[in-house]
Structure 1
Amino acid sequence: MSVEGPRRTIRATPQILKDLRSLRVLVFHPDDADGKQLTDQLQRIGCQVQAFWPPLPTLPEGVDAVFLAVRPDCIELGFDWFKAETAPTLIAVVTYENPTIVEAVLHIGAQAVLGSPVRSFGLLSALVVARQVHGQAGTACRKIRKLEAKLVGVRQIEEAKSILMRTRQISDGAAYDLIRDQAMTKRVTTEVIAAAIINANEILSIGKS
């Protein structure tokens, strides 16, 4: 009689790990032991790495992640790419842990923090976690923008219906049907038709008391 051993669960490698070898990474760190360790370890992971110090005020195209040494001499950096909508994943590398440094890390919007002295252990986890957080934040921002746009559209449709109800003496339902029919005929969204009605009404209202 055979006895089966424990079954192994085979898990698929997450896409975020598969993508590491295609990442373009910038290391903004002084050319010291930590800077060399960062660059060497990222290259072992398979990332395409470039190192600079001091940090560049403008990032090259296509950068996926940045490791930035947060030092007292760069606390006041105010580069636009920190807060840009298309900002890459940002990992702060800190030597000190005091309120000033922590405030700087928050100011630049870092998605992860790597302590100094830099060791090979922990760097991969910091990069992966930061990429995950960065991706989730981006997804959340896109959803928020869509919801905000939808809310604006709803308000425009309500305003357009009100204009039609007042100028054509029709019901709420009839006003919406008119907007919808025009949208279908012109193959655009109801929001586009509503905006056109509002704009036309504003133009026709010019000069009226």
Structure 2
Amino acid sequence: MTEQSLLATLSGVRLHIFHPDSQSVRAFCASLTQLGCHSQHSWPPAASLSTDTQLLLVAIDMHQQPLLTPLFISARERDIPIIALADSHNARLFPLLLQLQPNAIAARELNPFALIVQMIGTLKTVRHQQRLRAVQQACQARSERLAQAKSVLMQTFGLDESGAYRLMRSEAMNTRSSMEYTAERVITTLQK
């Protein structure tokens, strides 16, 4: 993969950075804008997020724990990936990080190059996981429709499960159609 295609991963991404204000944060936001990101910056963390937020970068601060927990729960419910920005020398943060379960962890001191690499990796991983979930859901739905069609055939014609499957498979082959299409036809035709 080329550098351009990797950076294209960030183009158009809407992210929110919860981090105490500093010159380095403002410079990082400006860099993200140059890469085509739409970034917002605020502090302290807030439980409510913009409806179009696609990625969160959150500075982890023990004093903000009451605000962090609802923020992470809300982001997880909306399937928004989170990169926690934590001080790796502060061992007291580890239990909080385990509780919050971010998608990734990076250094709290902003290293733009390292953080951009982390953002690209996190987005690619989360998008891949979302595609896998969609495929799994489609396979599950397919299996459920096939099972429903077999059940209809079993009830209608008094067949056992393997007989119903053989009948559907034979019909699919004779009509040169897929098992899914045949199952839909069985369900819509016989289930009335």
**Correspondence for 2:84:** 92
Secondary structure at 1:113 match in 2: strand
**Correspondence for 2:99:** 104
**Correspondence for 2:146:** 154
**Correspondence for 2:123:** 131
In terms of fraction of residues, the more helix-rich structure is: 2
Q: Distance between the aligned counterparts of 2:186 and 2:63, measured in 1?
A: 54
Report the RMSD for the aligned CA atoms in angstroms. 3.4
Deviations 1:47-89 (A, max 9, x none): 22111223332322332221112222343522453223x5233
Identity level (%): 14
Secondary structure at 1:21 match in 2: coil
Deviations 1:127-176 (A, max 9, x none): 11111111111111111111111121121122111012129xxx647953
Q: Distance between the aligned counterparts of 1:173 and 1:138, measured in 2?
A: 31
Q: Which amino acid aligns with 1:57?
A: A
TM-superposed CA distance for 1:105, in Å, is 4.1
Secondary structure at 1:51 match in 2: strand
Asked if 2 retains the 8 angstrom alpha-carbon contact of 1:16 and 1:132, the reply is no
**Correspondence for 2:63:** 73
Change (3 A) 1:159 1:198: farther
Q: Which amino acid aligns with 1:47?
A: C
Q: Which has the larger radius of gyration?
A: 1
Q: Distance between the aligned counterparts of 1:173 and 1:24, measured in 2?
A: 48
When the two structures are superposed, what TM-score results if normalisation uses the length of structure 2? 0.72
Q: Distance between the aligned counterparts of 2:2 and 2:166, measured in 1?
A: 54
- Which deviates more from structure 2 when the two are superposed, residues 73-82 or residues 57-66? 73-82
Asked if 1 retains the 8 angstrom alpha-carbon contact of 2:149 and 2:183, the reply is yes
Change (3 A) 1:156 1:14: farther
Task: List alignment gaps of at least 5 residues for structure 2.
Answer: none
Structure 1 runs (4+) greater than 6 angstroms displaced: 177-180
Say which of 65, 76, 88 aligns to 1:83. 76
- Is 1:166 aligned to 2:158, yes or no? yes
When the two structures are superposed, what TM-score results if normalisation uses the length of structure 1? 0.67
TM-superposed CA distance for 1:25, in Å, is 1.6
Q: Which amino acid aligns with 1:82?
A: A
- Is 1:143 aligned to 2:135, yes or no? yes
Change (3 A) 1:99 1:61: closer
Q: Distance between the aligned counterparts of 2:187 and 2:123, measured in 1?
A: 39
